[in-house]
Structure 1
Amino acid sequence: MSTHPFDAHLARVAEAGEHAVWTPSDGALPALFLSHGAPPLFEDAGWMAELFTWARSMPRPRAVLIVSAHWEEAPLAISSADAAVTPVYDFGGFDPMYYRMRYDTPAAADLARRVMGALSSENVHETGRGLDHGAWVPLTAMYPEADIPVIQLSLPTGDPAGLLSLGARLRDLREEGVLVIGSGFTTHGLPFLTREVMTGRVEAPGWSRQFDAWAAEALSRGDVDELAAYRSTAPGMPYAHPTVEHFTPLFVTLGASTNPETPRTSTIDGFWWGLSKRSFAAA
């Protein structure tokens, strides 16, 4: 019987050894934007390796704050700060094993208080909600030990300016060893994918490749205005994003960076099921 790719990934993680924990001498952690995939990411050894290698290229964070496309709520809300909260299985049609997977992180009360403090001008409330798949799926590949406190923050708006402002209020957390993540997907036109594309028999559709190339070029120039005008200027719209929640977490990441207009290069690129995996760090 063959080994499941995720089991092989865990074996590679065990061989990697200790991961040095962030200290103040390391300086601020970057903010990340990552394309988060879906449970079948655990069947893609290459993508898991990319995410884990990325995690190991940085000091191990003291905590993670993540904004996911899969939790849109205003006023702002944060997930449960309790330990080992059951994840949200907000997907359908996949192998039953994915509905049994857990990501049992430690209690995150200290992080919750710090986040609430950073957003003191907002009406932020704590919920009993667990982490959705936009959070626990990529984090399971990056930090499979699940021993880092994690809080998820809701996505309160699709307005780029509002999300840049939200990210700016989270910026100081990076100086405390908190990894701030915007989790979405650089393209997400699920209704327009064919079986041939999803099985890799044909290349990613033109609307996905065109939007991805546009985003990469705008990021390489640090052109926040161009990115914010994506609805009207990006090629491939609206196919690349028939709804926008998978692109807008990018603006939280840029807002949390030291300078949103700094040129960016991507850490991960390529396509999965015809969707762009482009992901980057913003120091």
Structure 2
Amino acid sequence: MLRRTFLSLTAALAPLMALPALAQQSDQAAQGATMLPAPSKSGYAPVNGVEVYYAIYGEGDPLVLLHGGLANIDMFGPNVALLAEGHQVIAIDLQGHGHTLPFDRPMSYEAMADDVAGVIQYLGFEKADLMGYSLGAGTALRVAIQHPGLVDKLIVVSAPYAWAGWHDYNQQGMRSMTPDMAEGMKGTPLYESYAAVAPDVNNFPVLIEKVTAMMMNDYDWSAEVKQIKAPTLLMFADWDAVRTSHVASFFELLGGGLQDALWDGSGMNANRLAIIPNATHYTIFADTRPGEAAIAFLDAPAQ
């Protein structure tokens, strides 16, 4: 009974989770941390009156990588090494996640976007590419909106531009979390990943509480998405937690697919849409196909 309850809960919370919740995916998730290369540099950036953890992998043009909710960089598994082959990957643990403390402030996409912008500036970069998944993708999107001058190219993986873009099931799951669920999650790959790096494992219920409070707020960034100038790649699973109709709307807000591209592709703009087949919101982040698609997008000549 307890296991069935946990699987039901984690399936509902999966848009926030960094590690697959379903039992058959646990082994893959547990291996994620072992696939990470050793960072060339790591530490805490003092930004906005708080300290945000970062780790740097590889060399090349800077690429900021942002994890999903309740997670840390481990969730991307082999994609970190893949992306670091030709880029300087800057992995950031968002407020309350991984190595970063919860802070004495409410959690919001806007505040975390300011944190990310602060880390980019702290590390001395004029601009950086951004790639985020789920909660991290929403944060990356807000960076492009709030700090457009810092963003070179943007990659949004499995996240909507409005709360209504999530399926009803996922909305209900994200808003039903309570701190007392933390105890029942002990021993799971998700909890163990947090416990392995968190400064204080007792902050896990605090993280859940802050994320839940954040999810209570409706949002719709459609007007602001239209103003994004950074070339943007939207990436979703064909069976995602984000509604398919919302994915199409998202691309159209960026001017994508509004007309035929013509034989020579002259009808296209700089934005792209990728649908990963035979994938879900719970598997896409550890699948190397998104990493490969991201590299092709980042390395393509400016249009």
Scaled to the shorter chain, the TM-score interval is: 0.3 to 0.5
Higher relative contact order (CA 8 A, sep 6+): 1
- State the TM-score, normalizing by the size of structure 2: 0.31
